[in-house]
Amino acid sequence: MSASDDRSRLVQAALASISVGSKSFRFASQLFDQPTRERSWLLYSWCRACDDVTDGQTLGHDAVAVNDPAARIEFLRHRTAQALAGEPTGIVPFEALRTVAAECAIPPAVANDHLAGFERDAAGWRPQTTDDLLSYCYQVAGAVGVMMAHVMGVKSGETDTLDRAADLGIAFQLANIARDIVEDARVGRVYLPTEWLEAEGLTGADLADPKHRSALARITRRLSDMADAYRRSARVGAARLPFRSRWAVLSASGIYGEVATKAASLGPRAWDSRISTGKGEKAALVMDAFSESLWPVRPAPRDGLWTRPRHDPSAP
């Protein structure tokens, strides 16, 4: 099989993965030019596999308790290191990473930041402070934003743009946490900082109890407001991208942002059913993003926002 055929096979497998694992990302990715679209799918394939291996699930669904979390993280780290070193792994998602990392010069340190989030999940970690929450959001989603920025052509030296790419991932994860507070609590996962819960007189064990929904609504408003701040920062970075990438990023921002907005607006009813965004709503948000993409964005500092860790670009 030629290298071209092998890459096409990886792209098709990645498309199959994203079509099931993230309909929203799949929807927004159609706006990229073809090379960027394919590379975004390849990166997603690896991210999806890492999540699935950690949680014992299939394409984001049907998670089961695993009895070997440390071994699973070691497997991910070993295969990821192989892929980033350009060594064949024989495993499709890691071959996808090997391909996209070579094509886009994705820094290994950022990929390892992403794995650190899964390691926290595997260890049953819980945030104590707001900074803990934001560092976790960076690891599981902000680092993906940084890698996606490299996929879209942003260079390692463009620090502020990469910071704002991380900001968008952080905003996405804050929205996910808001939507899934009760669902996560039912399986023993708590992503709300202990200091936030104590301020409401709650513990992690209280989050699945319907009688505490008013308190959860206040916390969700806080998460939504934080997500909005990081999304506003991300718009500044998106404005520096080529038009189609800018449009895709702003579309994804609108689609995921709608999750946090709905969760906050529903108040105590936010967890009566899973919040989703329908095709019609997505189409309207994409058109809004198109209009937004045509207008210049006023420069804005990132004052007060959590900032991703700095890495030596020459580090392995």
pLDDT in tens, 246-281: 999 999 999 988 888 998 899 888 888 888 888 899
Q: Note the pLDDT of residue 187.
A: 85
Q: Is residue 315 part of a domain?
A: no
167 and 247 assigned to the same domain: yes
Q: Is residue 111 part of a domain?
A: no
Banded pLDDT at 316 (limits 50, 70, 90)? very low
Q: Is residue 112 part of a domain?
A: no
Single out the residue in 96, 123, 150 at which a domain terminates. Answer: 123
| Structural domain boundaries enclosing 235 | 126-309
Residues 6+ apart with CB under 8 A from 13: 45, 92, 96
7 and 132 assigned to the same domain: no
Distance from the first to the final alpha carbon of the chain: 31
* pLDDT of 224 over the 60 cut: yes
Tens of pLDDT, residues 75-123: 999 999 999 999 999 999 999 999 999 999 999 999 999 999 999 998 8
19 and 90 assigned to the same domain: yes
Q: Note the pLDDT of residue 311.
A: 77
74 and 133 assigned to the same domain: no
Task: Please count the structural domains in the chain.
Answer: 2
Mean pLDDT of all residues in 127-155: 97
* pLDDT above 90: percentage of residues in the chain: 75
Tens of pLDDT, residues 111-123: 999 999 999 998 8
Single out the residue in 72, 95, 123 at which a domain terminates. Answer: 123
**Mean pLDDT score of the chain:** 91
Q: Note the pLDDT of residue 277.
A: 83
| Nearest alpha carbon to residue 49 among 112, 106, 118, 116 | 118
Single out the residue in 89, 123, 157 at which a domain terminates. Answer: 123
35 and 165 assigned to the same domain: no
Global pTM?
0.92
Mean pLDDT of all residues in 34-63: 83
Q: Note the pLDDT of residue 24.
A: 80
Q: Which two tokens stand for residue 12?
A: 């098709």
What CATH number is associated with residue 283? 1.10.600.10
| Nearest alpha carbon to residue 241 among 253, 230, 229, 258 | 253
* pLDDT above 70: percentage of residues in the chain: 95
Q: Which two tokens stand for residue 198?
A: 């104590």
Packed helices 213-238 and 159-186: angle between N→C axes, nearest 10 degrees: 160
145 and 85 assigned to the same domain: no
141 and 247 assigned to the same domain: yes
* pLDDT of 1 over the 70 cut: no
Given a contact cutoff of 8 angstroms between Cβ atoms, the answer to whether 181 and 215 are in contact is no
Half-sphere exposure of residue 263: CA atoms within 13 angstroms, side-chain side: 31
Mean pLDDT of all residues in 230-256: 95
210 and 277 assigned to the same domain: yes
Q: Is residue 113 part of a domain?
A: no
163 and 303 assigned to the same domain: yes
Query: Nearest 5°: phi and psi at 2?
Result: -70, 165
Q: Is residue 314 part of a domain?
A: no
Query: Nearest 5°: phi and psi at 22?
Result: -155, 90
* pLDDT of 59 over the 90 cut: no
Distance CA 10, CA 103 (A): 14
Distance CA 296, CA 82 (A): 42
Distance CA 307, CA 47 (A): 22
* pLDDT of 203 over the 90 cut: yes
Banded pLDDT at 300 (limits 50, 70, 90)? confident
Mean pLDDT of all residues in 208-213: 94
Helix (H, G, I), strand (E, B) or coil at 58: strand
39 and 100 assigned to the same domain: yes
Highest mean pLDDT among 18-22, 65-69, 177-181: 177-181
281 and 150 assigned to the same domain: yes
Q: Is residue 157 part of a domain?
A: yes
Q: Note the pLDDT of residue 107.
A: 96
240 and 191 assigned to the same domain: yes
Q: Is residue 220 part of a domain?
A: yes
Q: Is residue 167 part of a domain?
A: yes
